[in-house]
Each structure stands twice: as structure tokens, then as C-alpha cells.
Amino acid sequence: MKILVTGGAGFIGSHVVEAYIAAGHEVCVVDDLSTGFRRNVPKEARLYEIDIRSERLDEVFAREKPQVVNHQAAKANVRESFEKPLLYAEVNVLGSVNVLECCRKHGVRKVIYASTGGAVYGEPQFLPVTEEHPINPVDPYGASKHHVEHYLWIYRSSFGIDFTILRYPNVFGPRQDPFGEAGVVAIFAGKMLNKAQPTINGTGEQERDFMYVGDIARASVLALDRAGGEILNLASGIPTSVNRIFQDLNEITGFGGAAIYGPAKSGEVYRIFLRADRAAEKLGWKPEVNLREGLRRTVDYFQAQQQA
């Protein structure tokens, strides 16, 4: 199968590309390399350095004629989205509509869309959060990601382009940026391996549903021929505090330092974890890598990068 992955040079997207190639599919990648890296793209995949808002995107679709599009490309920093809400609307909404228009013009049969379970629901009214939970995002990032879900319904009903929406939890693993704002696992691991002190924002009792990136990529493979017209949470269903992440990484890295706390960051949901029964039913998917093993694999990756 011919698959085009937007954002395929990024953290999650590159793992999706690898999973598709391992499953025997032909893959091309569209990425503007604003946060992704050329080195993340496997040699078996063709890379087009293009912004998803660009008119040149149509040329890629015309040349590659993909059957399926896996749409990972997005601006994805909650705090930055408050500072640059117009940019988030432009990239995440208008860029996605540009992708969908190319799908319509060039006969794409299905779009697999990376949405967010951590940001579209807002402050939970009940836990664990199911797909039926009200949508009340509390940041422009979550709003922009959810907006595209409506367009996917429109393009399915009007133009026959199928979709599967995957709402991600807090994803971590190799290639996550240890120097950015997002990704507490990568930030803590990067600092600890360099014998630098991480700071826990707030009390550290904030809870999230953390999941290893390999399990996320596997869901994208399963969604190629399953779960048409479905919105699916991907989740472990297990809430984990930031304090727990610190403690585990402290042991795995051998850092050995005490936790230091700073001011809480505004604009973030305090406690959320998801229920993924529907993904199990519709995709036959369940997470396979537990938190501790995922953290160990992540630390091993960063250690190898330091030694390279």
C-alpha cells in the first residue's frame, strides 16, 4: 500500500513511518522540518520538505498518488498555543484542510488522523475519559486539533474519504525532544543523564496517561483497514503522576538527586487519563509496553545518542 505520512520526520511520525515500512508498505513523508529532523526518516521513505499549508503539497499528491494519508503534522505545544493562537489555527486547521483537499483531488481512500486525548476533552467530568466525554478544550492547541475532526466527518459524508481518528495520550519514547517545552519524560531524562537538576512544576501530583511511542505507531498500522469512521482513544487507562515519572527516571538513569519544585504552569489539565476499550474492540489494539519498560528504552536511546 502507498502511504503518505505528514510530519513523518517528527517524534511520533517517524515511528509511524518505521512501523509502516516494517509492515511492507511504501511510504513517503511530508515535513517542513520545523521540529522534525531529516535523520529521523528511514532511507526507504521519500522525504518532501514542504509545509502542509503550501500549494506545493498538491504536486506531491499528484506524483505519489497515496492510497492512505496518516496526518501527524501539527503545532503541538500547549503553552505556545496561548502565545500564538493564530499560528496554531493556520497550521493545524488550515493546513489540515489543505491536506484533505489534496486527498479529495487525488483519490485518497482513507485518512488516519493524530488527535489528542490529553487536550480535546478539557477538565474531565468523569474518569477514565471515554470518547463520549464532552469536548471542552481549555487551550488553543486542543481546540485546533478537535476542529479538524469535524472536517474529517464532512469529507467522509460528502466525498467518501474514510477516516480513523486516534486520540493520543501523553506519548514518550526515543526521538522525543529533550530540550523543548513538551515531553516531561524526555526533558527529565535528558537533564538527569547530563547530571542537571530537573524542575517539577507545581506539586508533581498532576496525573497523565503516559504511553510508549511504539504502541502508538502500532495502532496506525492496525487502522489502515479497520475502524472506518471511528474516533478512538489510545490509552493505558492508568494515571501516573509527574512525581512517579521523576522517581522512576531517577532510578533508571542513576541520577540520584532529590526532587525540586517550581511554580505550576497555567493552562493545563490537572488530571486526565483515558479509557481505550473501543480501540481494543475496533482495532484489536492494546498497549504492550508498560511504563517502566518504556522509560528504560527511552533512557537507553538517549544514552546511546550521547555516546555516538
Residue-by-residue DSSP string for 117-129: TTTSS-S-SSSSB
CA angle at 264 for the pair 262 and 270, rounded to the nearest 5°: 135
Contact 155/108 with Cβ under 8 angstroms? no
Strand partners, 3: 27, 68
Give the C-alpha separation, 70 to 8, whole Å.
9
Q: Which of 293, 108, 107, 97 is nearest to 214 (CA)?
A: 293
Taking the CA atoms of residue 125, residue 126, residue 132 and residue 135 in that order, the dihedral angle to the nearest 10 degrees is 30
Strands in 125-183 per DSSP E = 162-168, 170-172
Q: Is 37 exposed, middle or buried (0-12, 13-18, 19+ CB in 10 A)?
A: middle
**17, three cell numbers:** 513511518
Torsional sign, CA 202, 208, 211, 217: negative
Contact 181/75 with Cβ under 8 angstroms? no
Strand partners, 170: 210
Q: Which of 237, 236, 225 is nearest to 283 (CA)?
A: 225
Give the C-alpha separation, 286 to 235, whole Å.
8
141 in active site = yes
Question: Which is the catalytic residue, given 48, 88, 113, 141?
Answer: 141
Q: Which of 268, 249, 142, 260 is nearest to 206 (CA)?
A: 268
* Catalytic residue positions, numbered: 141
